[in-house]
Amino acid sequence: MLRAVALYRVFEDPLPSLTAPALVAAFDGWIDAAGASTAAAARMAEGGRTLATFDPDALCDYRSRRPVLDVVDGTLTGLTWPELSLRQRRVGERDLLVLSGPEPDLRWRELGADVLELCLRLGVVEWVSMGSLPAAVPHTRPVPVLGTASKPGLLPDDVPQGPSGLLRVPSAALSAVELAVAGSGIPTVGFYAQVPHYVGSAYPAAAIALLEHVGRHLGLVFEVADLRHAADAARERLDAAVAADEESRAYVARLELMADQQGRPAGEDLIAEIERFLRQRADGGAEGERPGPT
């Protein structure tokens, strides 16, 4: 039964009949380091049609996520409101749904119920979360991708499910929605790219990693040639910034050693290394040392 007042509105009634649709979701904010996951979602949704949008008045705190105001020659001409939308496109022999936009500030449980309702109405067969996390990893190595899954055997062999044991962290809205979907029995997985925590701008390499991992998982291919050019340019900037600073060179070399010895640092090592680096930078900053790469 449909809820009396839903947070979304659909643009087609009835909704279209889809072929084995998978829903991929990414929100900006808490788990979107360097904007990598929302950049990947935007690429996946290119050329698609909007099936539904969600009410920003109900979900967003405009004091923390203000709409953009256009002022032309001293005249207020329009506002661009934050938009969380569900888009659909045909890729190969199946349908792909992409849920993306600003991370909601409010009503996460209601949002989860409404997204689940849409999943059931559209016949979604699998949910895929995408995120990107700052981590103690070097930009000189391939982007590590961690996975989560609602049950064993859902992830590809090359994506480790973890970290192992209990990890208690502040939740993202995306995780709250995924849990609502998983509770219905729809299989859910998550792919999370690790972004070097010293990167302070866009990091196309992480978006590429997500597009490739999710694409292989779903049996789809996404165009990334232009992103590779952007990733090469970002790599050159980071290489130059690291080369110009002796401490940064030593730090990246230490991260490379960790990556080469362990394949990927354990969760405790990631946290300890980031804390050590930030503490050292704070101490050095008092002495007028240069900041690390951005």
**What is the per-residue pLDDT for 272?**
54
Is this structure's pTM higher than 0.85?
Answer: yes
**What is the per-residue pLDDT for 291?**
34
Domain range annotation of the chain: 8-222
Using one digit for the tens of pLDDT, what is the confidence trace for 138-155?
Answer: 999 999 999 999 999 999
Most confident of 111-120, 241-250, 256-265, 269-278: 111-120
Distances in whole angstroms, Cα of residue 256 to Cα of each of 54, 57, 137, 195, 259: 43, 46, 7, 14, 5
Q: 217 and 156 in contact (C-beta within 8 Å)?
A: yes
pLDDT band at 158 (very low <50, low <70, confident <90, very high): confident
Residue of 288 and 77 predicted with greater confidence? 77
Third-level CATH fold of 8-222:
Rossmann fold (3.40.50)
Residue of 86 and 286 predicted with greater confidence? 86
Q: Return the SS3 of 234.
A: helix
Average pLDDT, the chain: 88
Q: 176 and 167 in contact (C-beta within 8 Å)?
A: no
Cα distance between residue 56 and residue 54, in whole Å: 6
Whole-number percent of the chain with pLDDT over 70:
87
Is pLDDT at 269 greater than 80 in this prediction?
A: no
Distances in whole angstroms, Cα of residue 60 to Cα of each of 8, 101, 251: 14, 11, 39
Is pLDDT at 276 greater than 70 in this prediction?
A: no
Q: Which two tokens stand for residue 292?
A: 């690390």
Residue 34 — left, alpha, or beta (φ > 0 → left; ψ -120 to 50 → alpha)?
A: left
Taking residues 271-285, what's their average pLDDT? 50
